[in-house]
Chains A and B, each alone.
Chain A
């Protein structure tokens, strides 16, 4: 296996794990399967596109054309997608969590609401912006590094490093901050957390905004490789969901391991000559089905009985 393949696999794994961690954290703390994660992804991509299009002339006149300009552009793009993702999270909180979180049948109903939000948003984007895909400015620039005889594109390297930093920041926030402690308490035992005075309503908002921002970050990073389109969120959502399930819902290390596994599997299936890109989805699903039959709760998940 050459280095280029490994880099490609790591690139996929980085983006998948950003999506999967968001879904996984959300499920275990708030108890919601967020099907609107794909919509958040697409909306953040479009927000970044709009923001960079609006800021381009201003940046060009203020900072000229040098490294500083591209740095500011990168900042604009990332912050726009992060803010848009967090706002989407807040909207999901207002529609899919707040009205029904204490009503019967909450998990299924929130799933349905987020699914409806996803369908509605994708169609709305399609209606408003049309089906054409839009290219975002390349914040990492064009070019390659030569490492041990293989070429690594800047955007691949940037995606891997950026995703790792973001994930590290998220995990640090969960580990060391007061709010993160509350979220972890809810992940362990929602009832116990409620008894010790952790409000579900108050804690759910930052969790949803955080996971939305993670999806936004994934959109910003993936848009360096592919274009932004209304339906661009569907594949990351499906991948994120399957990886979150493969890793065991609620297990962050499981999600990362699952993302790495799937990333490498896809890279390898795509590289094998007689299979090719068309069989990627096919292969991953068969792999996931095999894993789930051997370990019904995914790689890092425990059976409910064991947990009790």
Chain B
């Protein structure tokens, strides 16, 4: 006899689960000064073995830390060109995350993100170059400018909506570009401010230590953007906005219950604008210069492509999309214009096939699988019992299910027995001894439920006038009259009831 092989069953046999001691009390550490736990562990009981199991419900923090630490560990070993690609990725991912906060969380379709970055970068750089402000203060000037720009941009956002606001913000970017390139003082450099002081020492610039230092700064910037995302999107502001997110009805509802979502939107917009200001100052420091290309439409479209490919409105989408697009755009430079076509093709395919970009494809696949499973289940049971599978789980008395299935099969068999001869036999002799088939059919009719059971009513005592009624089956509710036909003989009425029931049987 061979050894028995046991297969793991269930939906996720590969999942790693803890098996805590059932008697020990549970200890969980909290994030300092808050009520929150580090990871979302949940204790469940395995329904089969009844053992206590500990599962990690939300695995996103794991993936985030794996991905970010891989980036941090691998980058120092890369060649110089790839280090700068990694730094650019960090900067763009940070911008994308903050933009996602505006578009996804606040629901304001603003295209002025790069304009805010550019404005604060320009003003911070100008303060450094022309006023001699030391570079650490640039990181303060940047957010101040970003906040001011955000306040100006946010004013019309409550009045205009959707595309109109998008157009307006696009116009702002264009106005900035024209304004900067028309400035007299910047004409010799084509509108760029160069020689900006930076956290990277001047003789290290574009050398390996300088690049590594730049990457370190960009990585910190990305972490900061993620922190802002976490604090805004997952805390009170984000929750308020989630209530008023999807539709106008939701907005009306949240307004009615006293949620001031407009204020929350403005706050989110202002916070992310200030954060974008930090990114702008960092941008000017990282390149030691800033040029009007930051206001250009192409740059904006590239950024938009990143968000779309990754998934609009999700932080992980912003980061994954930035990684994909920057790898194609900066990593495959030898392809020339073909790489933009490649980005466009990816964007097209992702949008046609995915609901919410790459990162939403997992949920989409799950929905698809669930729908298919439901369809298959329905198909399997179509010819079976009376109860649909969805209904069957709700019926507590399982006996009822078998009774229905039995009844259905019985009806199928009885239907085959109904012939004109049988009806004629009943017409001739409604009572008394019958043939086997007729007896079976009549037996089935006798067992029928009270609801809609036919009964005969004598119209007046002592008179031979009958009518057919149907019992309601509900206590206190009178029977209804089936039709207005009258019968002069009781046997005719018997036969009429029989015909009605045969009709019902054949129709079922």
Q: Cα distance A126–B344 when bound, in Å?
A: 14
Across the interface, do A296 and B167 meet the contact criterion of CB distance under 8 Å? no
Q: Say if the beta carbon of A84 comes within 8 Å of chain B.
A: no
Across the interface, do B351 and A109 meet the contact criterion of CB distance under 8 Å? yes
Q: Which of B159, B167, B174, B305 has most chain A Cβ within 10 Å?
A: B167
Tell me which of B266-274, B335-343, B428-436, B466-474 binds A: B335-343
8 A–B contacts from the bound complex (CB under 8 Å):
A95-B352, A99-B352, A100-B352, A113-B351, A116-B305, A119-B301, A127-B336, A285-B171
Q: Which of A123, A127, A293 contacts B159 (CB 8 A)?
A: A293
Residues of chain A within 8 A (CB-CB) of B161 are: 296
Q: Say if the beta carbon of B175 comes within 8 Å of chain A.
A: yes
Across the interface, do A127 and B338 meet the contact criterion of CB distance under 8 Å? yes
Q: Say if the beta carbon of B355 comes within 8 Å of chain A.
A: yes
A242-B352 contact, Cβ under 8 Å, with A112-B347, A116-B344, A123-B344: no
Q: Say if the beta carbon of B308 comes within 8 Å of chain A.
A: yes
Q: In this complex, what residue of B is CB-closest to A27?
A: B163
Interface string of A78-119 (1 = CB under 8 A from B): 000000000000000001000110011100110011011101
Across the interface, do B348 and A117 meet the contact criterion of CB distance under 8 Å? yes
Q: Say if the beta carbon of A307 comes within 8 Å of chain B.
A: no
* Chain B residues at the A interface, C-beta cutoff of 8 Å: 156, 159-161, 163-164, 167-168, 171-172, 174-175, 178-179, 182, 297, 301, 304-305, 308, 312, 336-338, 340-341, 343-345, 347-348, 351-352, 355
Across the interface, do B178 and A279 meet the contact criterion of CB distance under 8 Å? yes
- Size category of the A interface is 35 or more
Across the interface, do A245 and B163 meet the contact criterion of CB distance under 8 Å? yes
Interface residues of A in 236-257 (CB under 8 A from B): 241-242, 245, 249
* Shortest Cβ gap from B100 to chain A (Å): 14
Tally the A-B contacts, defined by beta carbons under 8 Å.
96
Across the interface, do B168 and A292 meet the contact criterion of CB distance under 8 Å? yes
* Shortest Cβ gap from B167 to chain A (Å): 5
Across the interface, do B341 and A124 meet the contact criterion of CB distance under 8 Å? yes
Q: Say if the beta carbon of A120 comes within 8 Å of chain B.
A: yes
Q: Is the interface of B mostly helix, strand, loop or mixed?
A: helix
A126-B347 contact, Cβ under 8 Å, with A245-B163, A285-B175: no
Residues of chain B within 8 A (CB-CB) of A56 are: none
Residues of chain B within 8 A (CB-CB) of A109 are: 351-352
Q: Is the interface of A mostly helix, strand, loop or mixed?
A: helix
Q: Cα distance A100–B175 when bound, in Å?
A: 35
Q: Say if the beta carbon of A184 comes within 8 Å of chain B.
A: no
Across the interface, do A113 and B174 meet the contact criterion of CB distance under 8 Å? no
Q: Which of B164, B168, B348 contacts A297 (CB 8 A)?
A: B164
Across the interface, do B175 and A292 meet the contact criterion of CB distance under 8 Å? no
Q: Which of B156, B312, B352 contacts A113 (CB 8 A)?
A: B352
Residues of chain B within 8 A (CB-CB) of A282 are: 174-175, 178-179
**Given A116-B347, A127-B337: 13 more A-B contacts, CB < 8 Å:** A99-B352, A113-B348, A116-B305, A116-B348, A119-B347, A120-B344, A249-B163, A282-B178, A288-B168, A292-B160, A293-B156, A293-B159, A293-B160
Q: Which of B164, B179, B304 contacts A115 (CB 8 A)?
A: B304
Q: Which of B167, B301, B337 contacts A288 (CB 8 A)?
A: B167
Q: Cα distance A282–B174 when bound, in Å?
A: 7
